[in-house]
Structure 1
């Protein structure tokens, strides 16, 4: 992983020629409804991916796939709108706290957040482990609720973090309840890359894991995402049996065995998922 960069550090891309202005959006140029300038603006915000504490203009252009001129205009606009902060001495940019407005509005516009919180808290108190809720977004899962254990904190896992669906408990718990075609479409665009020596990367083996999750009512992964971590998840289903999200529990191999987690944690996560599903019955995102 690229190291985080100091605000006054020299621009490592000084000799790199930034790509042409439309390199990111040219495949959609023929779509009359597609707003290329909006896409470029969002690509600038996405350039701040958490690995960097500040970016220079040339770095932003290169990472966003836009021209220097476009990067200059967009960053200027975002500074005035309050989404970026510019250090006039170093001429580098950082995200501002206003970016969190989008997460706030997303969470509070969804019944899932309000309904799930009491059940997530109850599950956390019962098992004394970290409990989370994750939504499936294509080949990835995104954490939307997280209540950490008081005795085991993982500072790298936060709301909004994206992980591959194929190797996570929350991802498998949701994939297992999709139709075979939907699963195939998602796996077709999945990069089966190992995150640890224990990650299952064979597509056939992953499909077997989905079958087991559907049979058992929950998915379990051991050290496939993080070494020393066991995770379980069960799907939150709508009235037609489609997954809306998944409730998950993550814990340490220092405290639990796989057998112990299956016996004692799986019932907790499945009960939480059932209660949330029942409370959300009749609600569909779209």
Structure 2
């Protein structure tokens, strides 16, 4: 609510554009198509405004309408944004061969995630052939505080930046093992910075363990993290710390070296 108030007071903020984008954001991870009433409820728009925005977005190809049910789904043109983001960012070209190499050598799922506000967002994903989690795909968002890639980036932010992110974070227990104690998390992030990597066990998904290390740009700013995600059925925390942690640190360092001439903003 505070963010929306600040936007309304910003003379350069285009409210109509914000409302149109909110319609696209109304479509979540479920497969269900949405009707106008549901879109209006999720966006806070009245039905008339929702109708105008959905019509415009359908004409532009970003939504598709089932004329029989009069319900909407995201259109494939939405993928243009993901493609443009990845192609405009050198991280993708640099990281992809390293991610593939780590995945093939260790037969585990390898991700590269970036920090967006309080979330870790998957930008690159190479799934393991022996364990495929269909819930995780490029663009999936998870709270940064409870995933290894998020913690790996948070740990290397400046104290002011880290505090600002944690101040905006809504700490929610995703599993019985999710750590939502602010003081404990801060201590954990301090330890991550000492160790050089982050580890989580069943804090985001039961039965899942992950280890990650930060990726830096040319100014030593943490811009992403490379992580290996696996099953607690295959690895203990001790074995993962001994064997997987050095791998993610080595891979993340190799990517960082290739990004020395580039800085993110």
Same fold (TM over 0.5): yes
How far the C-alpha of 1:68 sits from its partner, in A, is 1.2
Contact 1:25 1:39 in 2 (8 A): no
Structure 1 segments of 4+ aligned residues over 3 angstroms from their partners = 24-27
Give unpaired runs (5+ residues) of structure 2: none
The aligned counterpart of 1:63 is 42
SS at match of 2:176: coil
SS at match of 1:55: coil
Distance 1:191 1:85 in 2: 33
Distance 2:4 2:206 in 1: 38
Query: 1:5-20 alignment to 2 at 5 Å?
Result: none
SS at match of 2:145: coil
How far the C-alpha of 1:249 sits from its partner, in A, is 0.2
Equivalenced residues, count: 263
Distance 2:216 2:232 in 1: 29
SS at match of 1:44: helix
Candidates 27, 30, 49, aligned match of 1:51:
30
How far the C-alpha of 1:285 sits from its partner, in A, is 1.7
Candidates 149, 153, 157, aligned match of 1:170:
149
Give unpaired runs (5+ residues) of structure 1: 1-23
Greater per-residue helix proportion? 2
SS at match of 2:132: coil
TM-score normalised to the size of structure 1? 0.89
Are the structure 2 counterparts of residues 140 and 25 from structure 1 closer, same or farther at C-alpha, using a change threshold of 3 Å?
Answer: closer
The aligned counterpart of 1:12 is none
Contact 2:217 2:264 in 1 (8 A): no
Query: 1:67-146 alignment to 2 at 5 Å?
Result: 67-146=46-125
Distance 1:237 1:198 in 2: 30
The aligned counterpart of 1:262 is 241
Are the structure 2 counterparts of residues 223 and 25 from structure 1 closer, same or farther at C-alpha, using a change threshold of 3 Å?
Answer: closer
Question: What CA deviation, in whole Å up to 9, does each residue of 1:134-183 have, x standing for no partner?
Answer: 00111111000000011111000000000001111001100111111111
TM-score normalised to the size of structure 2? 0.96
How far the C-alpha of 1:69 sits from its partner, in A, is 1.3
Candidates 248, 255, 264, aligned match of 2:227:
248
SS at match of 2:59: helix
The aligned counterpart of 1:213 is 192
Name the larger-Rg structure.
1
Are the structure 2 counterparts of residues 47 and 99 from structure 1 closer, same or farther at C-alpha, using a change threshold of 3 Å?
Answer: same
Candidates 267, 275, 280, aligned match of 2:254:
275
Are the structure 2 counterparts of residues 25 and 196 from structure 1 closer, same or farther at C-alpha, using a change threshold of 3 Å?
Answer: closer
Distance 2:7 2:121 in 1: 26
Are the structure 2 counterparts of residues 274 and 25 from structure 1 closer, same or farther at C-alpha, using a change threshold of 3 Å?
Answer: closer
Distance 2:140 2:37 in 1: 26
Contact 1:192 1:201 in 2 (8 A): yes
Candidates 179, 192, 215, aligned match of 2:158:
179
**RMSD, aligned α-carbons:** 1.3
Distance 1:52 1:29 in 2: 33
Distance 2:171 2:84 in 1: 33
Question: What CA deviation, in whole Å up to 9, does each residue of 1:12-50 have, x standing for no partner?
Answer: xxxxxxxxxxxx966533322111111110000001112
Are the structure 2 counterparts of residues 203 and 26 from structure 1 closer, same or farther at C-alpha, using a change threshold of 3 Å?
Answer: closer
How far the C-alpha of 1:79 sits from its partner, in A, is 1.0
Distance 1:54 1:280 in 2: 41
